Chains A and B, each alone.
Chain A
């Protein structure tokens, strides 16, 4: 591992982790969330070797506070999260910024998700950084991400503020060549919390903010200091002619889209690219210098017109020197403030601005290709073969139908977010933030005085339960809200890569941990609790129905069954070998309307077209046995598999 100069293939998230390790961090805390999850996994993998305390914190705010505590005691600390995490953690930072970090720096890596490829929103976290008043860096590659994380500690310590590094999915999840740097020398890290407190003196009162205007003023002075440092940063680079006809101002992942687009259009003689690595506070002198070299500017960045607005604000302050400038970007409609950017989108914008043409491929081929793909079906995402959530949703659907009062599910974030689509039989009706299913159910469950009597089921995963559902559950019990909380306990944070959580008995490092018993916690809070295995479909449906009928109060059902992917990783196989009895399966003539293949929709089931009957896809079936329970003709046979 300690091979400085070696070139390795690293995912952006691994490069970020390597940067933090090379920077000599002592503490790392995170909550898993794609596209950021692999950062802490990587650090945790070498934590013992490198004398780092690495933890999966229960949520992002706690992670930020854990890192804050370490920094206050003189230990370099690190935090990673996805864009949503920044919202959760912001409240701590808005206060911590009043005083600043300790003598050791603190760096936060936030990975945003343009296009919402691994999220159910696409938020630009840079705006949060700006309203929090923290310095912000944006890497354009895995290599630069590693170098920036290291440098971010110097910035953090120089200006005494938490420093942010913003990634995006394409940075986090792209693997590329990275040159390793040196690992820090092994020396004793000594933590000590300094006894500094003077209510009226921000310089002395390091960790308690006093009268706010007194403490707020130094924050702005620190930002000005960061701006001065950024003016000289080599992470800001210009490529192109001295006086470009068009100046592209870009940052982060978009940098390579711009260089590729300019190459593709062979426009390098006229077009210059100013790549900003330090985006907040804006290095104004540097940007002003480049604005003076051109008459036309195009902004290319992921999501919000963040740099675009900040530069335009600067240009306004420089009037009349900037009065001849024309700006293109999101405001002009050449690029969109939503969805992911790409080289092709930059090419389109350049073609329009430069008045040139571009042909990606042979025209007749293009027509043929477009025609050919008309037969390609949409491939909806699905729960895996053997997923316990499929069984849970089936039982929920059945129980709500039997109850007959138009009950519904308040959904949440995780694999079970598919609850509002086909794989969850369209049972979920709300989906917002982590833990919002339970929160929204609290509100719906207290509408009796307005004649509301629909049963409300709130759904959460096991990791989400600890992250954000605990307060909502307390609230429900306390305010006597009528709803049922379903905890889908599959023994992992499955969606983001099977990270452990407080219910699993494992730490981030793989060491054993105390189990925070969710059943005991729910009971202690005063909720009525049942535990079911969703693959016992009949029992689960009955339990659900009886809970639904028992109106009033906050009730909990824990649906406990291990994630199929975790089983596969642990080499735990299911009990059954499945097959279809072709005599019993009535196919299209059965009144079930393809209940197994069309409605249950497990990837392990398919239609044998030659005979129009159901069949098991042996390449995908894992033998969970669920389909045998739903076939009205009992044509799907569950055979005890022999141990091989």
Chain B
């Protein structure tokens, strides 16, 4: 049993994004860290055909006492980590409430086949209106600076941990990264993680 406390029982984290962005990887990292901290966790990802560019959501329910079902109840998210702006808004529409904390990567991924994407500023305004505790983290931009957009999700993971909204710390997360990224990949991912922490501190 963890000595760390939970603000609410259960505590609900949602990671929303687009298939291919790596939400499954992120939710697995967060789940593993929470387990190591002694919590009961249910992690549900979107699998199958939606992984091909559709809208995807991972639900992570955290508890000190029991295992809950894996899907968040309507309007009951505590934290939303948005990997893409309209997907963040979509998640807020369903799971948001006046207390929800939002961390969002403002880089759009445009829907294919000519579907129109709303004006980015309007999306950002709508997000801020639905969550006064919104922080924007330019994760894709930073990842491209690092030479590969693949680091976007680890940067966001750094921001999530750095925001101190979950009962997990850098010290819990680093060993998980070490296990997952062998050899050469580790350094860049640790760097990306640190970048995310830095970005959230200044957001």
Contact = CB atoms under 8 A, between A and B. Distances in A.
Interface of A: 7-9, 34-35, 117-119, 141, 143, 169-170, 173-177, 253, 256-257, 260, 264, 342-344, 347, 360-362, 365-366, 368-370, 372-373, 375-384, 415, 417-418, 422-423, 495, 594, 597-599, 601-603, 606-607, 617-620
B93 A381 contact: no
Interface stretch (B28-36, B157-165, B167-175): B28-36
A143 B47 CA distance: 21
B43 A366 contact: no
B76 interface: yes
B73 A360 contact: yes
Interface string B14-32: 0000111000000110011
Contacts of B146: none
A141 B52 contact: no
B74 A360 contact: yes
Nearest to A344: B74
Contact of B48 (A9, A119, A143): A119
Interface residues of B, number: 63
Contacts of A257: 69
Contacts of B70: 170, 174, 176
B92 A175 contact: no
Contact of A372 (B49, B89, B98): B89
Contacts of B115: 377-380
Contacts of A380: 53-54, 111-113, 115
A597 B73 CA distance: 37
Contacts of A381: 19, 49-50, 52-54
A422 B113 contact: yes
Shortest Cβ-Cβ A-B pairs, 5 listed? A118-B48, A373-B93, A361-B75, A598-B114, A256-B69
Contacts of B55: 379
Interface string B104-143: 0001011111111110001100100110000000001001
Contact of B112 (A173, A343, A366, A602): A602
Contacts of B112: 380, 382, 422-423, 601-603
A238 B1 CA distance: 26
Contacts of A599: 114
Given A360-B73, A495-B49, A173 B44 contact: yes
27 contacts: A7-B35, A9-B35, A9-B41, A117-B47, A170-B69, A170-B71, A173-B47, A175-B42, A175-B45, A176-B40, A176-B41, A177-B35, A264-B73, A360-B73, A361-B98, A365-B96, A365-B98, A368-B130, A377-B86, A379-B53, A379-B55, A379-B86, A379-B111, A380-B53, A380-B54, A381-B19, A381-B53
Nearest to A256: B69
Interface of B: 18-20, 27-28, 31-32, 35, 40-50, 52-55, 67-71, 73-76, 86-87, 89-90, 92-94, 96-98, 107, 109-118, 122-123, 126, 129-130, 140, 143-144, 149, 152
Contacts of A377: 86, 111, 115-118
Contacts of B46: 117
A143 B67 CA distance: 10
Nearest to A417: B49
Contacts of B92: 369, 372-373
Contacts of A35: 47-48
A385 B53 CA distance: 9
Contacts of A598: 113-114
Q: Which of A35, A119, A381 has the most CB of B within 10 A?
A: A381
A382 B53 contact: yes
A376 B67 contact: no
Contacts of A423: 112-113
Contact of B90 (A143, A260, A344, A376): A376
Given A34-B48, A618-B144, 12 more contacts: A9-B35, A177-B35, A361-B98, A365-B96, A372-B129, A373-B92, A376-B89, A377-B117, A379-B18, A379-B115, A380-B53, A602-B112
Contacts of A379: 18, 53-55, 86-87, 111, 115
A606 B143 CA distance: 19
Given A170-B44, A369-B92, A619-B149, A360 B76 contact: yes
Contacts of B41: 9, 175-177
Contacts of B68: 256, 260
B69 A343 contact: yes
A584 B195 CA distance: 39
Contacts of B97: 361-362, 365
Nearest to A360: B75
A118 B19 CA distance: 13
Nearest to A117: B48
A347 B67 CA distance: 19
Contacts of A370: 93
A42 to B, nearest CB: 15
A36 B90 CA distance: 28
Q: Which of B44, B50, B116, B130 has the most CB of A within 10 A?
A: B44
Nearest to A176: B42
B98 A362 contact: yes
Contact of B93 (A264, A362, A376, A597): A376
A372 B130 contact: yes
A175 B90 CA distance: 24
B42 A375 contact: no
Nearest to A347: B73
Contact of B96 (A176, A343, A369): A369
A495 B94 CA distance: 28
A369 B102 CA distance: 14
B53 A343 contact: no
A382 B93 CA distance: 24
